[in-house]
Chains A and B, each alone.
Chain A
Amino acid sequence: MTFIRLTGVTKSFPPTGKDAAPVVAVDDVSLEIPAGSITGIIGYSGAGKSTVLRLVNALEKPTSGTVEIDGRDITRLGERDLRALRGDIGMIFQQFNLFDSRTVAGNVAYPLEVAERPRADIRPRVAELLEFVGLADKAKNYPEQLSGGQKQRVGIARALATDPRILLADEATSALDPETTHEVLGLLQRVNAELGITILVITHEMEVVRTIADRIVVMENGRVIEDGAVFDILSAPQHAATRRFVSSIIDEVPSGEKLATLRQRHPGRVVTFTVRDGDVTQADVFAALARHGVRFELIHGGINDIGGRVFGHLTLSVSGDADAVDAAIADAGTHAALIEEDVRG
């Protein structure tokens, strides 16, 4: 079921200089985000992903196109309805953006105060939320007394206060160290699994998307250039920008200088097999090579677990009798659906 739908959305900002052209941050973007999913929007800075996020909770209004949430076009809503809508959409930030003048409990209570919930209901709700994010003992502390990871957990508790159906995460882990990032991502997964909240994450880190998302949207220059299930995008990226992101977490098929170095170090014929769950298995490849009595060793690449499915490039150096090597590689190629052999350097 599509929950958030952007149709032909363009957002341009007024020019910054006198003779400058208007800045088109989002350019004719159409997107469908299913209910209950975790979708990762990835792109370099300036790709327009932040703006897309702010179009969803209407902090920005599109120049053209429509944004629908649960079938309702939010671009037509007035300020009062928008405020109610924002109560249904939580948001967390890279810099946490906690209120320094309020305690941890006060921060979490803020959206409830804004929504004019009775005071008697706020206190137990805040306690429950702090319990959920594991900060029950920090209720009376102030943000400056917390670590980055703790601050983000307060941010998450605050974002969840009004029981939203959507959570927007704006580079929520980019200011955190790897271990804390893991902790926060784990919490977001719990938010999704236990509370059924649809999560939209924007990031420039593929690792974040790989860890928690089930769908990826790749953006470049304000446009969506690729969009699909995480496994499909990671195992078969179509665009150059997507390949660059994928290469940050998955060893690529070696080429150029990398390949030349490998060739120099390993005397055999260098070939790369792409292993893909449900499609190609390593066992078939290795069995075929073994049948021809050639020697082979793994010199580059590896196996990745993407949401429980296996994918990776294995670069092997195959040596032995020249004819046997050719036959072995040809044989492995028929057994395993995909073999890539690089042009000899």
Chain B
Amino acid sequence: MDRLIDLLPDLWEATAETLYIVSFSLVLGGIAGLLIGLALYATRAGSLFPNRVVFGFLNVLVNFFRPIPFVILLAAVQPLARSVNIRGIGPEFGIFAITIASMFAISRIVEQNLLTVKPGVIEAARAAGASRSRVLFRLVPREALAPLVLGYTFIVVALVDMTAIAGAVAAGGLGEFAIVYGFKQFNPWVTWAAVLIIIVIVQLVQFFGNGLARRILRR
């Protein structure tokens, strides 16, 4: 307990680092995932821009990365990170690895949520004279906004989780704090303090996401 009090400044720093990693990964992975997800949605058979080759390629690409366990992906992308001048440890590496892992997961979530828009609604927009790209980029995401918000909320929670795992390879944040000062020094108080903060972050994110989705759905 005393040890935890001594470590409090480090704990706050680790919390800030976790938030830093999560928010950057969310923005980068979120945008990349949104684009891949839109492309998957648009190119599937019967959609707005059906294209077997592009859809097949993206589908295989996503399916290739998705099953790789994140701890292994962390190690696997280290050389790749170094090749773009990012050190193999530290928060920047965490952001790099999490962005890669999350963009493929996000793309699936985006694709699935866009698919909830009824084909009839798209047909109505096309019959009103809207171009395919207008429907794809403006109407469909707006119509699917509430499930998209919930999907992204789910992803933020997953990002917090990934950040903690990345901590195991010294990517910083609460994960590293819990492992270095708690687990490795046999101090469960420290571990639990990190866990508690992670739980608080997750709860806040979920609360905010649910509220936003409710507002969009006007319920």
Q: Which residues of A contact B (CB under 8 A)?
A: 57, 59, 79, 83-84, 86-87, 89-91, 93, 95, 97-101, 110-111, 114-115, 142, 144, 155, 158, 161-162, 168
Contact = CB atoms under 8 A, between A and B. Distances in A.
5 contacts: A86-B128, A87-B129, A93-B120, A93-B123, A99-B125
A142 B218 contact: yes
A22 to B, nearest CB: 15
B196 interface: no
Contacts of A89: 127
A79 B131 contact: yes
Contact of A110 (B123, B125, B145, B216): B125
B82 interface: no
B7 interface: no
Interface residues of B, number: 19
Interface in B25-81: none
Contact of A86 (B120, B127, B143): B127
A297 B131 CA distance: 64
Contacts, number: 64
Contacts of B143: 99-101
A98 B128 CA distance: 12
Given A91-B128, A162-B129, 10 more contacts: A59-B123, A59-B126, A59-B127, A83-B129, A83-B130, A84-B129, A86-B127, A91-B127, A99-B142, A162-B128
B134 interface: yes
Contacts of B121: 97-100
Contacts of A90: 127
B124 A114 contact: no
A101 B145 contact: yes
B145 A115 contact: no
Interface of B: 118, 120-121, 123-131, 134, 139, 142-143, 145, 216, 218
Contact of A97 (B120, B216, B218): B120
A142 B181 CA distance: 54
B131 A83 contact: yes
Contact of A114 (B118, B120, B134, B218): B134
Contacts of A95: 118, 120
Contacts of B142: 99, 101
B18 to A, nearest CB: 34
B127 A114 contact: no
A83 B129 CA distance: 4
Given A99-B139, A101-B143, A111 B123 contact: no
A330 to B, nearest CB: 59
Nearest to A88: B129
Nearest to A161: B128
